[in-house]
Structure 1
């Protein structure tokens, strides 16, 4: 039976910058590099008898693209996806700030 930790390490070697930034595309003289927000997670374990298991998962949401026209490089966001990624972050930040303010008032 293969070592679960080594297998997960081998599989996760391609995760990181390669999953957040896509390959450069050239369209009508304009260079485009797609950008995504990515989350991944893995887990594994075994018991005393050597029976083990593991798993993983991930999520990716396109948030925009870097666009180069001539000498100008700009980021053009995908507004719908950017809002979908940003709303949970803003909600959590608001909850944390509300609790901090409540503690400081006491």
Structure 2
């Protein structure tokens, strides 16, 4: 099990770049490179031993992982070089936790005064 987790960890850095930037395509003579916010994680577990009554438990192991990608915009090539064009709905969704945390922190600071 440990070898599997170590092998997965070796590939994680390259997965992020591949998932965050999609394949370049050409639309109406302009190069388009999609960009996404990518979040993923993996976990593993293992267990063995005795329970509270001293009875032997069976050994166990397990693992899992998951993730998601939110398309936040695209780089579009033009006469002045590439320009980032955001996806407004995705940017608002991706920024909501940050804005909420900042608002909560500001509220607590103001209450302390």
Could you say which residue in structure 2 is the equivalent of 1:28? 28
Could you say which residue in structure 2 is the equivalent of 1:60? 69
Q: CA RMSD in A?
A: 2.2
TM-score by length of 2: 0.76
Question: Where in structure 2 are the equivalents of 1:46-85 lying within 5 Å?
Answer: 46-48=46-48, 51-85=60-94
Q: Which has the larger radius of gyration?
A: 2
Whether contact under 8 Å (1:4, 1:53) holds in the other structure is: no
Could you say which residue in structure 2 is the equivalent of 1:5? 5
CA separation in 1, counterparts of 2:66 and 2:104? 27
1:7 offset after TM fit, Å? 4.5
CA separation in 2, counterparts of 1:8 and 1:100? 42
Q: Gapped runs of 5+ residues in structure 2?
A: 50-58
Q: Secondary structure of 1:51's partner?
A: strand
Q: Gapped runs of 5+ residues in structure 1?
A: none
The 1:42–1:100 alpha-carbon spacing in structure 2 relative to 1, beyond 3 Å, is farther
TM-score by length of 1: 0.80
The count of corresponding residues between Structure 1 and Structure 2 is 104
